[in-house]
Amino acid sequence: MIQYAGIALFVFGIYGLFVNRNVIKIIVSINVMEIGLNIFIISIGYVTGSSLAPIVSSTEDLGLVYVDPLPQALVLTAIVIGVGTTAIALVVAKMIHSQYHTFDLDEIEESV
């Protein structure tokens, strides 16, 4: 179920990239796409029957069944990278606004 949700969000984001002409909405669509991707990545680590987060308090607990910690580490990195690229995109959007006084790509193409 959650994997379907992740894929659906990913595809929503891509649809948003096709359709939107407002710069800020494009950035929001990219973020939705990245959220969908992150949910999908976490979901491949789930192990049914265990509800244990991979925190091992002592060496006797090593034999229990934990969920997969590696996708969680990958998602931490992917989220931070998403934040970095969104910051750059927003700054460029701000410069577009100060140059053309609009956020709409169609209006910008007409005025050039």
Partner 1 sequence: MNTILLIVIPLLAAFIALVAKKGAPYLLLGAGLFNIVLLFFLDTGFTFIGGFDQAMTSDLLGIALYLDTYAKIALWLVNTLIVVIALLNFKAYKQYGSVLLLSMAGLNGLLLTNDLFNFFVFLEIASIAAYLITVSNRKFTDTFHYIVMGILGGSLFLFGVTILYAMTGSLNMIVIASELETNGQYQDVILPFIFIFIGLGVEVKLLPFNSWVKGVLASSNTFSGPMIASVYAAAMSFAMGRLLTNLLVFEGALLTVVMTLLIIGVVAGDLMAFSTSKTREILLFSSIAQASLIALLFVQGIVIWAVYLIIVNALSKLVMFLVINKATHAIGSDEIKRMKGLFVNNKFVGLMFTLATLSIMGLPLFAGFVIKLNFLTSLASLGQTMVLIIILGASLVESIYFVRLLVRLWYPGEETLDMKYSNPFKFVFAAVALILLVLGTYTTPLYELDDNIDQVSEEVIHG
Partner 2 sequence: MKKLVGFVVSLALALVIILTLNESALFPAFGEVDLAERISSQYFNLAQFEAVGSANIVTAILAGYRGLDTLGEVTVLFISSIGVAFIMAEQTRKRIELDYKANFMLRTGSRLIVSLILVTSFYIILHGHLSPGGGFPGGTMIASAILLLYLADEEFRSNIRGFKILESLAGTFIVVTGLLGLIFASAFLENFLPSGTIGELVSGGIIPIIYILIGLKVGSEISGIIDHFLSEEETV
- Cα–Cα nearest to 10, from 36, 39, 45: 36
**11: which 2 tokens?**
């595809």
Q: How far apart are CA 15 and CA 11, in angstroms?
A: 6
Give me the least distance between CB of 43 and partner 1, in Å please. Answer: 10
99 touching partner 1, by CB under 8 A: yes
Binding mask 49-78 toward partner 1 (x if CB under 8 A, else -) reads: ---------------------xx--x--xx
Q: How far apart are CA 63 and CA 69, in angstroms?
A: 15
Number of residues counted as binding partner 1 (CB under 8 A): 29
39 touching partner 1, by CB under 8 A: no
The CA-CA-CA angle for residues 103, 88, 70, to 5°, reads 130
109 touching partner 2, by CB under 8 A: no
Q: Which of residues 9, 23, 32, 39 is near partner 1 by CB under 8 A?
A: 23
Whether the Cβ atoms of residue 100 and residue 108 lie closer than 8 Å to each other? yes
Whether the Cβ atoms of residue 27 and residue 86 lie closer than 8 Å to each other? yes
Contact set with partner 2 (CB under 8 A): 1-4, 7-8, 10-12, 14-15, 18-19, 43-48, 53-59, 62, 65-66, 68-70, 72-73, 76-77, 80-81, 83-85, 87-88, 90-92, 94-95, 98
